[in-house]
Amino acid sequence: MTDYAYEGFDKHIGLEILSATEDEVVATFEVRPELLQPYGLLHGGVLCSVVETVGSVAGAVWFGDRGHVVGTSNHTNFLRAVREGRLTARATPIHRGRTQQLWSIDVKDDQDRLVARGELRVANLAKE
């Protein structure tokens, strides 16, 4: 799964997965003008999307060939306004069970300041 390269929305926002293991996924993206809301700040929906993707990739890597995962809950807190720069998201596990997983995702700026923190719950959908 470390060769994750989805050509849809993630590509549109410029999200790049740097590393993906069963215990951690790291991704990065550049804050660009088309990702800003009308007041010139990074749109919160972008941060929610990053939390969703990075947590989902993490869950999928851990679940592996047992099946697929789907997001069931995304709770993202916005902690610092951002207008420009490169952000890095890191997912780490909180709980990994038979039917569901819970991941914590921190999004930090290039000065290592916390911009957002999210939790993503995914359901494990085992192959039939």
Instruction: Point out the catalytic residue in the list 16, 22, 52, 119.
Output: 52
Tokens for 25, please give them.
């996924």
* CA dist., res. 107 & res. 66, Å (int): 29
Q: Which helix (H) or strand (E) holds 59?
A: helix 44-63
Residue 30 annotated in active site: no
> Are residues 86 and 112 in contact, defined by beta-carbon separation less than 8 angstroms?
no
Residue (of 123, 113, 118) closest to 103 by Cα position: 118
* CA dist., res. 37 & res. 31, Å (int): 11
Residues labelled catalytic: 52
